[in-house]
Structure 1
């Protein structure tokens, strides 16, 4: 990296932020563009990646002309990859050194590893890593003991059984998906996001068990619908009809979650519910991101899409951790965006 790298990257991030992007997303895109700028000369015009997994070293070079990928048969040692039985180097043809070209290359690599997984019936773990597209990873060792840990565990054990079951499930979902330090080369953002949303759903259920949501009578519900229509001058858009149905006619999970957030956070509950279900643009709603992940609408190998998810997971993280604090005494984070 040249000495100008940090200044150039942050200047680009500020430019992207000025265009309306979230700072974390802008910073991530600027970082990716800078990695392309620092393309190692030894690579020439090809992208070099490490393929890793529990497979045998091939006897000869493997070429996949339709994908523009060549896998070399020499086993790599002492790499960033830990825990895999085999690590190989592969070269991937790219039309140019650019972010769009990297995204295209990532998709082709994903097709190769995906079809390999199909042939193995899912019995062999595998993945890929590249200096350009992936972070080198990092972290620190945490202490195992904390003041107040016994108090927290006692609080969990003292919860009503039907509430405790949901809270314990939520604790599992925030613990399980995170990579260990030596596995930080593996992208885990989509796995973590989905698991955090599962934890959120568990905590919503726990709140509704502990303090059941009042059910309006038919006349009360009709009055709410009439008021909703009147506020919009008697003319409803398709989006209005959907909102009315989800919030008033048949609230379902949206109604349960909005209620739980208001129970936990009062006025701030409305703001959190908006981030989950009503934010504009729709693709940035926390609930919509979860659905997009589950339904295959987010490309797991597209660095730009992963950066967008990473920028939004901060809000989901804050909501989940603060909801835990409503059940268990521990040092909960302070939301810097909390309303006064």
Structure 2
């Protein structure tokens, strides 16, 4: 989907929290600044010159977006740290740094806060071009680290494999409960699976497929994050057990109305609320950042991903499922033996 970085705090923060994309953008940008405390920083005047705007324009953005810029690396130097910066400038000369010698407070942008500003300045053609380059590099970086696609990026999580196998066992218990306890045709499996999905993330399987652009060959659950799989498994285990208890008490299979009423009681239990909210945040936020997929029904749950999320799914600890399967043969054998 098309992103307007000037209008979306979440899209900006998702980029700025992605260390792999930031490293590639920094290589491509080749920004020349001042080496200070082991990193490159830029003065306001240098930033204004790059974007071909006035220093007053930069001041306006700092005033309006100060909290966001400070969160991403902009800071005002004073005291000893300012003295150290002046020492770094001592070998430079010219009008661009002559004003620094007498100042007692000086704002500086590191590369992240410089990019943050580039995603805000609407008056600058250079900033506009940089924004497009940023978006392209972010997409390329994610695709490169995931082998060309993000449909199954969830499977790179080290927790996915265990969650998938555990969920498979609970799925079997759930379908057995439906088979033995519910007086309905085979479509009951799809109906009550959808009820679980709608209860957790407000979408039926068919709606989820459309959002992620899955085809008929794709297994929906193979695209779920570990936290979502765990919650689905909990639903299946708990509701399956409830069906078996009620059917045993009745002495016969349950009617559609009885099962529907049971599910309303089941999903309304208070202990689900924090788990559902967590799962919704994970699904909505990760799918927007990694898969460029917006779940409209979960829009209010979207938050920026943190650095840990990028490390979890793109970093050294993340791996392709095939690698994990090879490494986990013994684990899978033990899980299968529990069935």
Name the TM-score class by shorter chain: under 0.3
Structure with the larger strand share:
1
Question: Scaled by the length of structure 1, what TM-score is found?
Answer: 0.27
Structure with the larger helix share:
2
Question: Scaled by the length of structure 2, what TM-score is found?
Answer: 0.27
